[in-house]
C-alpha cells in the first residue's frame, strides 16, 4: 500500500474573505500568502519524515483559500525542500492548458525532481474553465484532445503530427521525450 498526504496550500486570510467568485485580487494579503507557502514546505517535510510515499497538490484558480494556480511552480517549490518523497500533481487541468507546453513542463519538472513526479491529469470544473474564458461544454473534448498529445509526447521517441480542433496548425511534438531521461511522469 502507498499513502499520500494531500497538501492544499491553505491560505488563511487575516480578515473575512468575501463570498464571491472570482475572488478580487485586492483581498490578497502578501504576508498570509507567504505563511501559506512556507506551511506547504513544513507540512511536506513532516509528511516525508512520517514516511508518506508522496505529497499531493492540486490546481485551483481564483480560489479564496487555496494558493495553487500553477502546479509546476508549487511542485518545484516543494521538490526543492523535500528529497525522497514523491510529488503528485492532482491536475494539471488539461482543457485550459496548451498540451505541448504541459507535456514539456511536466517532463522538465520530473527531471528536476529526479524522477519523483506523479501526474494525474484532470478535466477541471466549470468555474476554472470560465477563468480562462473557455466554454465548459467543450471541456471533455479538450481533455481528450490534450491527452492524445500528452501521453505520446512522453513515450514516442520521434516527433509526431498532432492537430487540436480550433487550432490552424498541426503541431510537431518532440516535447518531453528528449527532456526526461528517467521515465515519463
Q: Is residue 183 part of a domain?
A: no
Residue that is written with C-alpha cell 505563511 in the block: 35
pLDDT score at 131: 80
> d(Cα 52, Cα 68) in Å, to the nearest integer?
21
Q: Is residue 72 part of a domain?
A: yes
pLDDT score at 67: 85
For residue 170, pLDDT beyond 60: no
* Model pLDDT for residues 80-89, shown as the tens digit of each residue: 999 999 999 9
Hey, what's the cell of 179? 527532456
Q: Is residue 184 part of a domain?
A: no
For residue 171, pLDDT beyond 60: no
For residue 21, pLDDT beyond 90: no
Q: Is residue 185 part of a domain?
A: no
Q: Is residue 48 part of a domain?
A: yes
Residue 124: give the domain boundaries: 4-178
Q: Strand 170-172 vs strand 161-163: parallel, antiparallel, or unpaired?
A: antiparallel
Terminal CA-CA length for the chain: 20
* Model pLDDT for residues 89-133, shown as the tens digit of each residue: 998 999 998 888 898 899 999 999 999 999 999 998 888 888 888
pLDDT band at 165; cut points 50, 70, 90:
low
Q: Is residue 86 part of a domain?
A: yes
Mean model confidence pLDDT for the chain = 84
- DSSP class of residue 27? G
Hey, what's the cell of 97? 492548458
pLDDT band at 181; cut points 50, 70, 90:
very low
* Mean pLDDT on 12-18: 79
Q: Please give the tally of structural domains in the chain.
A: 1
Nearest to 119 by CA among 154, 161, 95, 148: 154
Residue that is written with C-alpha cell 516527433 in the block: 159
Q: What is the CATH number of the domain that holds 68?
A: 3.20.20.30
Amino acid at each position: 500500500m502507498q499513502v499520500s498526504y494531500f497538501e492544499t496550500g491553505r491560505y488563511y486570510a487575516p480578515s473575512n474573505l468575501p463570498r464571491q467568485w472570482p475572488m478580487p485580487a485586492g483581498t490578497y494579503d502578501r504576508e498570509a500568502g507567504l505563511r501559506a507557502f512556507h506551511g506547504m514546505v513544513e507540512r511536506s517535510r513532516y509528511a516525508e519524515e512520517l514516511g508518506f510515499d508522496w505529497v499531493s497538490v492540486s490546481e485551483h484558480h481564483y480560489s479564496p483559500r487555496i494558493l495553487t494556480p500553477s502546479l509546476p511552480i508549487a511542485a518545484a517549490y516543494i521538490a526543492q525542500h523535500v528529497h525522497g518523497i514523491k510529488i503528485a500533481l492532482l491536475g494539471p487541468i488539461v482543457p485550459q492548458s496548451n498540451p505541448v507546453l504541459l507535456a514539456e513542463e511536466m517532463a522538465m519538472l520530473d527531471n528536476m525532481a529526479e524522477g519523483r513526479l506523479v501526474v494525474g491529469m484532470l478535466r477541471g470544473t466549470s468555474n476554472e474553465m470560465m477563468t480562462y474564458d473557455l466554454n465548459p461544454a467543450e471541456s471533455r473534448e479538450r481533455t481528450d484532445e490534450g491527452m492524445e498529445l500528452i501521453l505520446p509526447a512522453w513515450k514516442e521517441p520521434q516527433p509526431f503530427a498532432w492537430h487540436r480542433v480550433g487550432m490552424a496548425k498541426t503541431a510537431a511534438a518532440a516535447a518531453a521525450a528528449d527532456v526526461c531521461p528517467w521515465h515519463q511522469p
